[in-house]
Structure 1
Amino acid sequence: MAWLKGLLAVLYIARVSAQSSTASTTATACSSTIAPRHAPSVAPGYSVQVVASNLRDPRGIIFDSSGHLLVVQQGYGISSLSLTDDGGACVRAGQPTDIVLGEGFNHGIELSADGSTLYASSPEAVYSWDYDANEARNTSGPRELIGQMGDANGHVTRTLLLSRQVEGMLLVSRGSMSNLDPAALDISTGVSTIKAFNISNVTSTPYNFAQDGLLLGWGLRNSVGVGEDPATGGIYSVENSVDNFVRDGENIHQNNPGEEMNFHGYLNGTETDEQGENYGYPSCYAAWDVSAIPNNEGIEVGTQFAIGDQNSTLNDTFCREDRVPPRLTFQAHTAPLDIKFNSNGSAAWITFHGSWNRDDPTGYKLSVIPFPPPPSTSNTSTIDILTNPDLSKCPYECIRPVGLAWDSQGRLFMSSDATGEIYVIVRNDGGSVDDASPTSGLPPTSTGSAPGASGTTAGAEPAFGGGVSVRDVTAVVAFVMALPFA
């Protein structure tokens, strides 16, 4: 009867792998729900619900110490959402309460470790306020901490991250003023850089962004997402690369260059080769679809290569030897906007806002990467958790993920600016999304591949057809073998 048991196992696997991965409701129905503007597809084992809707371009989000969800509504200000929590994904927000109003506030938000100080950024400056979490309101006027950050044009987000590893260090990311910004060639401009500022000893005079602070990296076109690995203290960013790319007279922008995840060292004084160095922009970029690159000898996924026509000073050799390569590379134009680690550093969650300058839309998803990450040459590093079911309708009829925030129960919240919504992501088995195993309940399918690429998802076991892994086969065979055959 062994052959029969084996056959049943194969049939069971085929049935499992054929099941749809789309779902947008929780395993347990909520007493009330908010219908999403565009229903997403959700990976098996996970569920999502809309927490809030009708917001004005929600971007950065964070929870205060009393459980209020603070939201930056781009071009409007910072608001607080009080939540009604019935457990799991059954979370609903009341009407937003304004905290700080101002058209300049567009993305960056942070809170001190004790929850008593609120930080936010405009294109020109970083401000702080005394903050009362019980009342969800500021109790002082604004104090300018960092100024002279640049013009209010180009890439105007100024992402903030307050280190939880090194007290008092506030990271600020500033992007370029145009697609190919020559000012980024001059380190003194502060353009396309990430810096850290010690705000525990600020004076009445604000820091000058371009002149002051600890330089973590430059030559970074627009690193909107910045995260700190809680396990190692390592600083990572996710970078949006250029929109149009010409190499040796050929336009290859559809699938090159790739978006990047970069490593920037540590804040505790540990020395690394990467910290403070140049990451390439606007001269060198990371390869994604190697087959589409003219004169691609020696280039693989993640290799830094030169834009335009090569010459004696700007060429592939210079880019490989004198510029810092990305730690990981993603599909061109996916537009990563946030990176949040889980509490033990075993996974990094990344929002991909989605493309605007590609014939076939790409991105528009929430993904997770097991940590430590796979090799830098991987083109299958991401595991997609929330996606849009029909990318041909994007960007106008799609969720566009932006900001991420963990609540005290390990649930992950996500903003979608284009739809004016906040979502919550939970696991169907009742476990925490902030679990040591980010792939719990997921079939380890390959995602994010370059055109024509193949392979298995980083951190997963080799897969059979339909995304069924060795682990899946083993479990099914064990189950079938345990059945009471005569």
Structure 2
Amino acid sequence: MLKHVLAVFGLIVLVAIGIFVWLAWPDQAKLDVNAVAGARPDITAPRQQVIPTVGTADPIGWKNGERPIVAAGLRVQPFATGLDHPRWLYRLPNGDVLVAETNSPPREGGGIKNWVMKTLLGRVGAGVPSANRITLLRDANGDGVAELKTPFMTGLNSPSGMVLFEGQLYVANTDSLVRVPYTAGETKITAKPELVIRYPGGGNHWARNVIASEDGRTLYLSVGSSSNVAENGLDQERNRAAILQVFPKEKTFRIYAAGLRNANGMALNPDTRALWTVVNERDMLGSDLAPDYLTAVEFGDHFGWPWYYWGGYPDPRVEPKNPELQQYSKRPDYALGPHVAALGLSFANDVRLGDRFARGTFVGEHGSWNRKPLSGYKIVFVPFTPRGWPVKGAKPIDVLTGFVNADGEAHGRPVDVKADARGGLLVADDVGNTIWRVSGNQPVVAAAR
């Protein structure tokens, strides 16, 4: 009898182990990243996961003389080093560059899920405390290297986006938009920030961005979702997974567009003045889904999150269902590939890297943690037509790669991309603690200040 009981118990244990291994087994991509990129990506059947695939690139930094690999005809050099998790950039009118040295606020709560996220973030270099600082970089002699690096604003709360608007500098903290008076050329802000609006902070997607809108009197502000697919309840996603339109004088806001899981980079198309953004899509549908994307955004748009992805494909995990939304879920304009973690976005109008990169967008891909093999970890370029849309049939073009070595270790992870005053492309590398400058092979010429 005892032998029978032990045999049954052993069988149950083996079955349980088998089920766990099956659930936890990493999902291997069946498609190349570029097959899930472009205006018509391959959208395959989801491979739903209970436990996410974990495929991280452990951070190792850059040794002396090491640098990313740049596209043919271009060169790359450090613009500034020794920073503390630099993520977001902003160029002031006089050519000075502001960089937000920032990271996620402390994650609240316990449980297995939070433990896994904290452990994972530490492995990919995102678990360090936030410096909560904006630093000013100045390249006065025009040699492509910042000789001045000085604290500009401190005491912030996981700051990210910055924009100068009507004589004041606006800073998007994780939970509030604040502003301070700005005088051209100053190297330090001592004024106490004035609160403009509050919005939900923290969560899985904590970084906020802010830009001036095309109407000249409002701002666009992006707020990512708190969760993957609203698994903690839709009430936790109020005023999240959206782009807000902020009215600075009135200190109010409204939802401009919704269903955007994590829209970080935003920019106005110089040819059409339309708002464009890049979006991180959902996890745990396999290594081939769902593609992050680049898209134009209009007032009232809904891109489907959490119920739908890529213009109406249903996510079976989300409750309650929302069938009425399916036909109104807007399909994005251009897929960037699955899990590339598209964050930075900048149009090429102020960048001078030659004809190949003259019209289109540069996108900072922070890199995957949940795909095998890895995706992202690079800067890509999406060519546009003069009418303001991605070139038909075009795939993303690599501009800056080499952030991950042959052993799968990350020297760095690119985030934001911005043009400097001399036509170079600045790239914030939050793991390498460096701002890189991509330029053409022509000599750097100092500009008048």
Q: TM-score, normalised by structure 1?
A: 0.65
Task: Determine if the alignment matches structure 1 residue 401 to structure 2 residue 401.
Answer: no
Partner of 1:330: 336
Partner of 1:254: 287
Q: Encode CA deviations 1:191-241: one digit per residue, 9 max, x unaligned.
A: 111012222x23xxx43xxxx33x321011101111111211100110001
SS at match of 1:191: coil
Question: For residue 52 of structure 1, what is the amino acid of its counterpart?
Answer: A
Instruction: Give, in whole Å, the separation in 2 of the partners of 1:190 and 1:313.
Output: 19
Instruction: Give, in whole Å, the separation in 2 of the partners of 1:173 and 1:62.
Output: 16
Match of 2:360 among 337, 347, 354: 347
Task: Determine if the alignment matches structure 1 residue 304 to structure 2 residue 307.
Answer: no
The structure showing larger relative contact order (alpha-carbon pairs under 8 Å, at least 6 residues apart) is 2
Partner of 1:237: 277
Equivalent pair of 1:183/1:191 in contact (CA under 8 Å)? no
Equivalent pair of 1:184/1:282 in contact (CA under 8 Å)? no
Q: Which structure 1 segments of 5+ residues have no match? A: 1-33, 246-252, 266-274, 287-302, 433-486
Partner of 1:120: 171
Instruction: Give, in whole Å, the separation in 2 of the partners of 1:80 and 1:389.
Output: 25
Report the CA distance shift for 1:312/1:362 in structure 2 as closer, same or farther (over 3 A). closer
By how many angstroms is 1:40 displaced?
1.4
SS at match of 1:92: coil
Match of 1:152 among 185, 192, 202: 202
TM-align CA RMSD: 2.9
By how many angstroms is 1:393 displaced?
4.1
Match of 1:282 among 279, 284, 306: 306
SS at match of 1:132: coil
Instruction: Give, in whole Å, the separation in 1 of the partners of 2:237 and 2:284.
Output: 26
Partner of 1:82: 138
Instruction: Give, in whole Å, the separation in 1 of the partners of 2:134 and 2:265.
Output: 19
Match of 1:190 among 207, 219, 239: 239
Equivalent pair of 1:38/1:397 in contact (CA under 8 Å)? no
Q: Encode CA deviations 1:16-53: one digit per residue, 9 max, x unaligned.
A: xxxxxxxxxxxxxxxxxx97675211111111101111
Task: Determine if the alignment matches structure 1 residue 47 to structure 2 residue 60.
Answer: no
Match of 2:424 among 401, 408, 411: 411
Report the CA distance shift for 1:133/1:184 in structure 2 as closer, same or farther (over 3 A). farther
Instruction: Give, in whole Å, the separation in 1 of the partners of 2:325 and 2:136.
Output: 49
Report the CA distance shift for 1:63/1:311 in structure 2 as closer, same or farther (over 3 A). closer
Partner of 2:268: 228
By how many angstroms is 1:102 displaced?
2.4
Task: Determine if the alignment matches structure 1 residue 382 to structure 2 residue 396.
Answer: yes
Partner of 1:142: 193
By how many angstroms is 1:55 displaced?
0.4
Instruction: Give, in whole Å, the separation in 2 of the partners of 1:53 and 1:118.
Output: 25
Report the CA distance shift for 1:309/1:189 in structure 2 as closer, same or farther (over 3 A). closer
Equivalent pair of 1:62/1:110 in contact (CA under 8 Å)? yes
Q: Encode CA deviations 1:41-77: one digit per residue, 9 max, x unaligned.
A: 1111111101111101101111222322111000221
Q: Encode CA deviations 1:76-121: one digit per residue, 9 max, x unaligned.
A: 211111225454xxx22235311211251332111236xx421112
Instruction: Give, in whole Å, the separation in 2 of the partners of 1:256 and 1:391.
Output: 25
Instruction: Give, in whole Å, the separation in 2 of the partners of 1:405 and 1:158.
Output: 16
Q: TM-score, normalised by structure 2?
A: 0.70
Partner of 2:36: none
Instruction: Give, in whole Å, the separation in 1 of the partners of 2:427 and 2:396.
Output: 17
Partner of 2:106: none
Equivalent pair of 1:36/1:50 in contact (CA under 8 Å)? no
Match of 2:380 among 367, 381, 391: 367
Deviates more, 1:57-66 or 1:46-55: 57-66
Partner of 2:86: 58
By how many angstroms is 1:140 displaced?
2.6
Report the CA distance shift for 1:133/1:36 in structure 2 as closer, same or farther (over 3 A). farther
SS at match of 2:293: strand
Question: For residue 219 of structure 1, what is the amino acid of its counterpart?
Answer: G
Report the CA distance shift for 1:385/1:85 in structure 2 as closer, same or farther (over 3 A). farther
Report the CA distance shift for 1:306/1:86 in structure 2 as closer, same or farther (over 3 A). same
Equivalent pair of 2:277/2:295 in contact (CA under 8 Å)? yes
Report the CA distance shift for 1:188/1:82 in structure 2 as closer, same or farther (over 3 A). closer
Q: Encode CA deviations 1:347-382: one digit per residue, 9 max, x unaligned.
A: 111111110111211111111112133478x5x431
Question: For residue 229 of structure 2, what is the amino acid of its counterpart?
Answer: L
Task: Determine if the alignment matches structure 1 residue 356 to structure 2 residue 389.
Answer: no
Deviates more, 1:396-405 or 1:223-232: 396-405
Task: Determine if the alignment matches structure 1 residue 105 to structure 2 residue 158.
Answer: yes
Task: Determine if the alignment matches structure 1 residue 216 to structure 2 residue 218.
Answer: no
Question: For residue 67 of structure 2, what is the amino acid of its counterpart?
Answer: A
By how many angstroms is 1:172 displaced?
0.4
Q: Which structure 2 segments of 5+ residues have no match? A: 1-61, 103-129, 351-357
Match of 1:421 among 423, 429, 434: 434
Task: Determine if the alignment matches structure 1 residue 130 to structure 2 residue 170.
Answer: no
Equivalent pair of 1:415/1:422 in contact (CA under 8 Å)? yes
Report the CA distance shift for 1:169/1:311 in structure 2 as closer, same or farther (over 3 A). closer
